[in-house]
Amino acid sequence: MSLPPLGEALRFFREDRKLTLRETGRLAEVDHAYIHRLETGQKESPSSEILERLVRVLKPSSRDTEILIYLMAHPSGDAELVRYVLENSSIPIETFEVAYGVRHRGTTRPEPRALIERAQRVIDSEDE
């Protein structure tokens, strides 16, 4: 089952910290079932207070926290790209945002690596 982008990010950070849903919920003082619904896309827009609680427990870097905030405002997108960027911390947030905002025609999507490379070329060409 494919997760939504925000859910992919939350699960990535939770698993990185080796926390269960129940442990995360207890530490963040958020119902674990609500966290599950966020991860699976049954809920999409947590309040900023809930996100702050989750960030406090999941401890993402400042860059990754920016990605979470961005995903709250932009729930529709490519979860595979989100995972790729989270796994590759050298990718700047600006490059992620450009790649995430790309809309595709047809049924095939470029691989995340290709999207990031294209986005970086666009950013580099604007700097010239």
In whole angstroms, give the CA distance from residue 54 to residue 69: 12
Give the 3-state secondary structure of residue 48.
Answer: helix
- pLDDT computed for residue 106 by the predictor: 67
Complete domains list, the chain, with CATH: 5-127 (1.10.260.40)
Q: Indicate the length of the chain as a whole number.
A: 128
Q: What is the pLDDT of residue 104?
A: 66
Q: Are 54 and 10 in contact (CB under 8 A)?
A: yes
pTM for the model stands at 0.90
The pLDDT of residue 105: 67
For residue 12 the two structure tokens come to 């990535």
- In 3-state terms, what secondary structure has residue 102? coil
pLDDT computed for residue 76 by the predictor: 86
pLDDT at residue 32, rounded to an integer: 97
What gap in Å lies between CA 3 and CA 16, rounded to an integer?
16
Q: Identify the segments of the chain with pLDDT beneath 50.
A: none
Strand positions, DSSP E, 1-128: none
The total of other beta-carbon atoms located within 10 Å of residue 49's CB is 9
How far apart CA 30 and CA 127 sit, in angstroms, is 43
What pLDDT is attached to residue 97? 95
Task: Determine the pLDDT at residue 92.
Answer: 95
pLDDT tens figures, 4-37:
999 999 999 999 999 999 999 999 999 999 999 9
Tokens of 126: 């604007």
The Cα 46–Cα 85 span in angstroms is: 22
Residue-level pLDDT at 108: 76
